[in-house]
Structure 1
């Protein structure tokens, strides 16, 4: 089947991307709350791509997702302070420790996909106080992830979706205190 065929069936990734695009248009002030509800209904009930396209007409052009990779074969990877986090961030480390402090980071988007490819060694991620962390796509080999979910204390926190694979290390995730 031709991937550009507008009548081909809609998959979960396509639907999630369309929902995210609608949410971005709403938070950017391009559509009203009522229009968001109407278009979300169209997206969630769409069966073919041409039905999705109808729900996304007249929205601002989608910005290409920026992806950055931080990698090291051995040694430490350490990011903290004020730094810019792209929509997609990939962290690769064969041996060594990884520490990402996102508490003061500047997020380009409200949703960040963080892909971890860690062999051995410890991983530690500090997320903003109001962040929502999703771990469904992360596979651990030896030890489980240590994370205690926290109820957001206010609006505006990013959603951080962590995927990838952990080998023989342990990943600890915690929320910033301030």
Structure 2
């Protein structure tokens, strides 16, 4: 006996739809799908309401490009990013003795999943996330103090997924969602 899902299926966001259209256009430009197939798939993507309706439009496309990787490193001092900065798909942050403050609340996040790898010795780290971000810190290892993260009670679907992992020596990580 199969169980029915509780409540209606979540609707896709305009960002999900735009990303699907972009993937289809890239696949067509790279010669992976013919023009006739593109029209049919675009129609499916533009009329899809749920993720399960979007899957057939993207079926058999090549894997998404991994995106960019950037590294920010400092032996001591501060590492600070805030305002409207472009967040790469993979961000590596390395600091031996300094403080780290990453504010993603007004950053340009073009990828549905962003991986932030922390390699920190001592010092504190603070990460401010967009209100609708989904956070995963399961693979973060701390040596001395635990990380502090209090998940939002209600989060709108469709936000970016932020995966924070790596190792922290004797510092503390504080993660919070933006209030605005």
Shared topology, TM-score over 0.5? Answer: yes
What residue number does 2:168 align with?
Answer: 166
5+ residue gaps, structure 2: 1-15, 22-41
> Does residue 109 of structure 2 align to residue 107 of structure 1?
yes
Deviations 1:60-83 (CA, angstroms, capped at 9, x unpaired)? 662232100011011100110000
CA contact (8 A) 1:25 1:60 kept: no
CA–CA distance in 1 between the matches of 2:148 and 2:17?
Answer: 35
5+ residue gaps, structure 1: 1-23, 41-54
What residue number does 1:147 align with?
Answer: 149
Aligned residue-pair number: 142
What residue number does 1:71 align with?
Answer: 73
CA spacing shift, 1:149–1:94, aligned 2, 3 Å: same
Structure ID, larger Rg: 2
CA–CA distance in 1 between the matches of 2:121 and 2:146?
Answer: 14
Query: Could you tell me how far 1:157 is from its partner in structure 2?
Result: 1.6
> Does residue 96 of structure 2 align to residue 94 of structure 1?
yes
CA–CA distance in 1 between the matches of 2:66 and 2:155?
Answer: 31
Deviations 1:123-169 (CA, angstroms, capped at 9, x unpaired)? 00000111111001100110001110013443432110001001000
Query: Could you tell me how far 1:37 is from its partner in structure 2?
Result: 3.4
**Which runs of structure 1 show a deviation greater than 6 angstroms over 4 or more consecutive aligned residues?**
none
